[in-house]
Amino acid sequence: MQVWRRRFVGVAAVLGAAVLVSTAAAAPPVKTEFSNITFSSVMTGVCPFDVNVESVVSGFEIDYSDQAGNIVRAQLHQTEQDSFSANGKTLTGIPFTFNLDIRVDSNGDTTSVVATGVVEKVPLPDGSLFVSAGWANFVDHPDVTFLLSPDRGAQGNVAGFCAALAP
């Protein structure tokens, strides 16, 4: 779910002009669609071993600008599918959908990156389904490259998830 950083920086670089009509007015929101963006990360601190994560995301982003043309908020609606591998084993997740709300202060610093919805959905070898859903603010996890569970909401069976990838 770190795609927001890459997407946000890329879109912020493209946008920059405000619409000027007799007095300064904020530009209308800009919607950008994206599909099949892939990225890799390493999930640490969840299992007793590191887990490699391959992600594919598609969806859209809506950017909101202030009167000066600076992006102050971005909303993303996306579907993601992740594959997890460790110790020669792989778990392939089921595509899930969630929303991201990104807030930026007047200095251009990200102040909030809140995800709501499903956080992860993965069938486990024992026939059960690992599902996490709820609310998570990525700003509260600055050193985490991949979140498996929300800050608030339903946390999946982490022990079962890790056992499925254990040596």
Flag residues of the chain having pLDDT under 70. 1-25
- How many Å apart are CA 78 and CA 11, to the nearest integer? 16
The string of pLDDT tens digits covering residues 65-112 is 988 888 999 999 999 999 999 999 999 999 999 999 999 998 889 999
What's the whole-model pTM score? 0.79
The string of pLDDT tens digits covering residues 93-104 is 999 999 999 999
